[in-house]
Amino acid sequence: MSGPSTTFEADDRGYFGGSWGGRFMPEALVAALDELTDAWQGAMADATFVDEFERVLRDYAGTPSRLYHAEKLSAQVGARVLLKREDLNHTGAHKIRNVMGQALLTKRMGKRRVIAETGAGQHGVASATAAAYFDLDCTVYMGAVDTRRQALNVARMQLLGATVVPVDSGSATLKDAINEALREWVATVDHTAYLFGTAAGPHPFPSMVRDFCRGIGDEARQQCLDQYGVLPDAVAACVGGGSNAIGLFTAFLEDEDVEIHGFEPGGDGIETGRHAATIHAGAAGVLHGARTFVLQDEDGQTVESHSISAGLDYPGVGPQHALLAASGRASYTPVTDAEAMEAMALLSRTEGIIPAIESAHAVAGALGVARRLGAEKGPDATVLINLSGRGDKDMGTAIEWFGLGGPGASQEGAE
Amino acid sequence: MTSAKDAFDKSAADGRAALVGYLPAGFPTVEGSITALRTMVDAGCDVIEIGLPYSDPVMDGPTVQAAAQQALDRGVRTTDVLRVVEAVAATGVPTLVMTYWNPIERYGVERWAADFASAGGAGLITPDITPDHSPDWIAAADAHGLDKVFLLAPSSTDERIAMTTAACRGFVYAAAVMGVTGARSSTSGLAEPLVARARTTTDLPIGVGLGVSNGVQAAEIAAYADGVIVGSAFVRTILDHPGDEEAGLASLRALAEDLAEGVRRG
């Protein structure tokens, strides 16, 4: 480990705060990770690349996304609730920012093929979309369990021209899809780029994914100032691996008066052991190439995680979140499946916006923050929530949870 | 305790390459793995590599992962691995553990090094840490005189080969292919040039692994390497005889003898 860092940036070996992150990877991938680091740093310093990235996001992905004042929700909680509408992006989530950046970088590196892993399918769909846009071959690894609960997204990826490979090993969910993608990458690294789906994994992925997602926070901060003349009192996002959260948080890290809240998947409840609240209930360890908080047993074996949201169902978290939690700059709180689903229904009925279940975790947690700040500071207290994705993909889960679809169900199911 | 280098030196004095055999601890059971590993020693393995079963083995192919998962499903613990090490090291053959990093970090790096050394273990083979990301392990290994075996890959730059071999003790592990563990039908053309590049940086013995499954392949590799490392093929002999320990051991013994004969032909 290197010495302590005084900033939130990683050092040149990928450690945040001197001890979180790094690169715990097979030697076979080191050359590729070094090549990627050089390419990413060179690209970010090249105005031509940055301009092209911003053009693609604007013209194709639909950014900047809107900052929306949820007035009826605000009235309910006694504080101003702002929603960063990443759900309105092309493909329906913040993920498009990351993959367009990584795919553009893939083209710059002269590679013709990409692989990706996906949990809920959002990153897989985004990757397949970026591959189609940039004319790249695309293979997506997905836990076999997830291919069943996200069948619609599997079909979307296939329609976009990607090959979807179900992964049966381990728990057959996101972490196993990452393992399989890493294995494939070892064998194909000379011509294949790995579009990593979140701000976790070995250096440089946590920093690179953050940089490609940081437009969320940069836009939101400026929009808040432009539209309301103030910074928010708090910002909030859901945290699985943590890409949308770090994309939002990065713009506010130096704003010491802005509270930063991450909401983790609490599953059936922390006390049941069936959850994916990695920071709240995990321990420091190494998973998928980085030292971070990991759900693990006393022998260091990864413990299977659980969340109603496949996109949050991951036993690790990005190492920068580990630093922010350890330093106290951000707080991380679990939200149960039931609380998230209640928030999904609330936002749907109050504002006419159906959020992804991932994003509903942020809504559920942030409304508590809004009530507290409203009571302390009055109705101008402002809470900015990243609505990271839309809920179309989650309708199957919603139908089952609320008992929707039958006569009268819409009146009764979600009460 | 002995270093793996002692076994390589002894093999070299006999004019042949060393045979390194791998099985995961706890596969098919803790006692069964001890019996199997001792059988491999009896049949001609010069160095033993014991896998520490791990939930997320990025470098392992389906054969080794299946065996490790069986061991985990039957409740193997890190302390069981130490027990297997102690039983195998008692044969006098240098005994190393191949392990992913998190179980060691969780056990406590210094505590592991001390307990492992007490069990008679020679050192660790660490597939998911490189010398530039493992100062804690290097310090603990040095304090207890343990072998540090880091991997080289065909993609390693000359600079990284020099850095890695300088950090190794015992022997150097050259991965023959860009890929995960698993028996392959033919040997790789990538290994020999990698060994040649590594030789310019170190006097340590160099073992070649990944994909070796029979005596013919072992002989080919023994022609240019100091050691031949075999894992998945040994695992397969036991996987192919579920519930029939005697048949599995017979198959295991036959393979070890074939490989041992191969390294003598190389």
Q: How far is A299 from chain B (nearest CA, A)?
A: 6
pLDDT tens string B15-31 = 999 999 999 999 999 99
* Residue A103 confidence class, pLDDT cut points 50, 70, 90: very high
Mutate to test the interface with B, among A1, A12, A15, A27 (most CBs of B within 10 A): A27
* SS3 label, residue A265: strand
* Residue A5: pLDDT over 50: no
A170 → closest Cβ in B55, B136, B155: B55
CB contact under 8 A, B105 and A13: no
User: What confidence category does residue B1 fall into, taking pLDDT thresholds of 50, 70 and 90?
Assistant: low
Hey, what amino acid is at B229?
I
Q: What is the H or E stretch that residue A263 is in?
A: strand A259-267
Predicted TM-score (pTM) of the model is 0.94
Contacts with A220 (C-beta within 8 Å, 6 or more apart), sequence order: A67, A82, A84, A235, A248, A251, A384, A386
| Helix ranges restricted to H, A138-270 | 144-149, 151-159, 174-188, 205-213, 215-228, 243-249
Identify whether B200 is part of a domain.
Answer: no
Domain count within chain B: 1
Give mean pLDDT, residues B169-196.
Answer: 84
Does some domain include residue B202? no
**B245-265 vs B30-42: helix crossing angle, rounded to 10:** 30
The size of the A-B interface in CB pairs under 8 A is 117
The CATH number of residue B20's host domain is 3.20.20.70
- Looking at residue B169, its amino acid is R
Name B100's Cβ contacts closer than 8 Å, sequence gap at least 6: B52, B54, B56, B57, B58, B126, B127, B128
Report, in angstroms and rounded to the nearest whole number, the Rg of chain A calculated over CA atoms. Answer: 20
Domain boundaries, chain A: 14-50+95-205, 67-92+214-402
- Cβ-proximal residues to A241 (8 Å cutoff; 6+ apart), any chain: A197, A198, A199, A200, A314, A316, A317, A318
Indicate the fold that domain A67-92+214-402 takes in CATH.
Rossmann fold (3.40.50)
Does residue A239 sit in helix, strand or coil?
coil
- Catalytic residue positions of A? 95, 117, 388
Q: What is the pLDDT of residues A266-310, one digit of tens each?
A: 999 999 999 999 999 999 999 999 999 999 999 999 999 999 998
DSSP string, A314-343: -S---HHHHHHHHHTSSEEEEEEHHHHHHH
**How many CB atoms lie under 10 A from the CB of residue B103?**
24
Alpha carbon of B102: minimum distance to chain A alpha carbons (Å): 5
| Collapsed DSSP state (helix, strand, coil) of residue A386 | strand
For residue B53, whether the previous peptide bond is cis, meaning omega lies within 30 degrees of 0, is: no
Q: What class, spelled out in words, does domain A14-50+95-205 have in CATH?
A: alpha beta
Nearest 5°: phi and psi at A98? -60, -50
Considering only CB atoms, which chain A residues are within 8 Å of B153? 26-28, 30-31
Compute the half-sphere exposure of residue A280: CA atoms within 13 Å on the CB side of its CA. Answer: 23
CA distance B234 to chain A (A): 21
| Cα(B48)–Cα(A98) distance, integer angstroms | 45
- ipTM score assigned to the predicted complex: 0.95
Q: Which of B72, B128, B180 sits opposite A301 (nearest CB)?
A: B72
Does the pLDDT value for residue B220 go beyond 60? yes
Residues of A with CB below 8 A from B154's CB?
Answer: 28
Q: Is residue B35 part of a domain?
A: yes
Quick check: B150 contacting A, CB < 8 Å? yes
Residues in A touching B157 (Cβ below 8 Å): 31
**Residue A4 clears pLDDT 70, i.e. is over it:** no
B188 touches chain A (CB under 8 A): no
pLDDT at residue A213 greater than cutoff 80: yes
Q: Is 70 exceeded by the pLDDT of residue A413?
A: no
Coil/strand/helix, residue A15: strand
pLDDT grade for A414, boundaries at 50, 70 and 90: very low
Region of poorest pLDDT, from A268-272, A350-354, A367-371, A396-400: A396-400
Question: Range of B247's domain?
Answer: 4-149+211-219+227-265
* Mean pLDDT across B123-138: 96
Give residue-wise pLDDT tens across range A285-296.
999 999 999 999
- Phi, psi angle pair for A383, to nearest 5°: -120, 125
Q: Is residue B185 part of a domain?
A: no
What are the backbone dihedrals phi and psi of residue A355, each rounded to the nearest 5 degrees, phi first? -85, 160
